[in-house]
């Protein structure tokens, strides 16, 4: 049985969060003399002399309307890395508790565990990069405070089975975090549509991938109002900049461009996969529900990687043993994809 209050670290339950006057005031102020800002303006655009809305109300309102959820179910962060760290700090006591991940997977779960002096339990995926029955048994028996499930998974690119995630949500007593950074490229409904069913579900998304806004560093977490309220309690006061909020609002007002880019990337994924499959040095291309292709090579992958670097082409070489012999190739523009394939074709 999931009990949020018993899961939260005792010191967090009783702490008094930092509160600025901007948290307490809503509406349009005539005179703002609360935060010791420079009221004369700034060296750059004049409007950036003020602190941003600490609660990002306008962005949350727009996101809630787009996603079909209440603004109180939305948390915004300085990239998904920040909210991963905050979730660990929210429930896991340093030197005592553990969190759980399913390698090969996103490396920031391990970084957050190490940074917060929390044990990381690793339950590996099987050869198909799915959760085996034994893995599910281990997860459900674990005393970890959080299980992180990356779906579509990074660096493998595949969705985890819906039934497996459902089983974890129903049987795991801690937080179940489904990291959906690449969900916009998958042909499956987001777990956002299931928030009402599972009080322990937290869904992570980002503006860095399908939205094409990696440079503004804006991550999103969606969950119950109670979980989101605790995240707001422990975050830094002004964790999302004014510029980031403005750029996010502009993107949310132009969803047609988002959809056009998404469709173009999906088509480019098909085209790139077909071109890679024709190369004699390529051994296997793993199925992808993301904007990249995990590709295993017949030859020494280190030599292939160095060859691409020598041609000015930067790709990712996964370090996890389950991805040995593979490179993670992001789907780029048509010209970038052609350049990558030509360089691989020329490799001797």
pLDDT for res 1? 81
Residue 46 has pLDDT above 80, yes or no: no
pLDDT for res 298? 97
pLDDT for res 275? 98
CA separation for the pair 344, 200 (Å, rounded): 45
Q: Tell me the domains of the chain and their CATH numbers.
A: 4-253 (3.40.640.10), 256-346 (3.90.1150.10)
Averaged pLDDT, 91-109:
98
Whose CA is closest to 329, among 305, 303, 307? 305
pLDDT for res 280? 97
Contacts of residue 126, defined as CB under 8 A and 6 or more positions apart, other chains included, come to 132, 135
pLDDT in tens, 295-332: 999 999 999 999 999 999 999 999 999 999 999 999 99
Residue of higher predicted confidence among 33 and 145: 145
Lookup result for tokens 């988002």: 258
Residue 78 has pLDDT above 80, yes or no: yes
CA 168 to chain centre: 19
Within the chain, how many helices (H) and strands (E) appear?
Answer: 13, 10
pLDDT for res 21? 72
Averaged pLDDT, 238-261:
97
Averaged pLDDT, 1-12:
95
Decide: pTM greater than 0.85: yes
CA separation for the pair 327, 324 (Å, rounded): 9
Residue 32 has pLDDT above 90, yes or no: no
Q: Which H/E stretch holds residue 159?
A: none
CA separation for the pair 206, 79 (Å, rounded): 7
Averaged pLDDT, 180-204:
97
Residue 126 has pLDDT above 90, yes or no: yes
Averaged pLDDT, 193-206:
98
Residue 237 has pLDDT above 80, yes or no: yes
The chain-wide mean pLDDT, for the chain, equals 96
pLDDT for res 131? 98
pLDDT for res 19? 79
CA 15 to chain centre: 27
């Amino acid at each position: 049985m999931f009990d949020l209050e018993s899961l939260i670290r005792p010191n967090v339950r009783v702490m008094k969060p930092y509160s600025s006057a901007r948290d307490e005031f809503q509406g349009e102020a005539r005179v703002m003399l609360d935060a010791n800002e420079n009221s004369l303006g700034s060296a750059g655009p004049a409007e950036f002399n003020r602190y941003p809305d600490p609660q990002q109300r306008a962005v949350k309102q727009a996101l809630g309307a787009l996603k079909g959820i209440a603004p109180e179910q939305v948390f915004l962060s300085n990239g998904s890395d920040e909210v991963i760290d905050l979730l660990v700090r929210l429930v896991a006591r340093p030197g005592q508790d553990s969190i759980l991940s399913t390698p090969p997977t996103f490396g920031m779960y391990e970084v957050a565990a190490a940074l917060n002096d929390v044990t990381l339990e690793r339950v590996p995926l099987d050869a198909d990069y799915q959760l085996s029955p034994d893995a599910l048994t281990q997860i459900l028996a674990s005393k970890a405070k959080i299980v992180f499930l990356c779906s579509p998974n990074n660096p493998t690119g595949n969705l985890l089975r819906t039934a497996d995630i459902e089983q974890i949500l129903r049987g795991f007593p801690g937080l179940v975090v489904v990291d959906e950074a690449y969900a916009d490229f998958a042909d499956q409904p987001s777990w956002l549509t299931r928030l009402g069913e599972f009080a322990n579900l937290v869904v992570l998304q980002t503006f860095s991938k399908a939205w094409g806004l990696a440079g503004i560093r804006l991550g999103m977490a969606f969950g119950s109002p109670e979980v989101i309220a605790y995240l707001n309690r422990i975050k830094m006061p002004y964790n999302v900049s004014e510029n980031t909020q403005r750029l996010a609002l502009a993107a949310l007002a132009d969803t047609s461009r988002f959809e056009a880019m998404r469709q173009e990337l999906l088509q480019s994924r098909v085209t790139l996969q077909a071109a890679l499959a024709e190369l004699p040095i390529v051994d296997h291309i793993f199925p992808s529900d993301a904007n990249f292709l995990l590709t295993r090579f017949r030859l020494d992958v280190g030599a292939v990687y160095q060859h691409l670097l020598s041609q000015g082409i930067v790709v990712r070489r996964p370090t996890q043993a389950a991805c040995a012999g593979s490179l993670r190739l992001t789907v780029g523009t048509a010209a970038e994809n052609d350049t990558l394939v030509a360089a691989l074709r020329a490799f001797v």
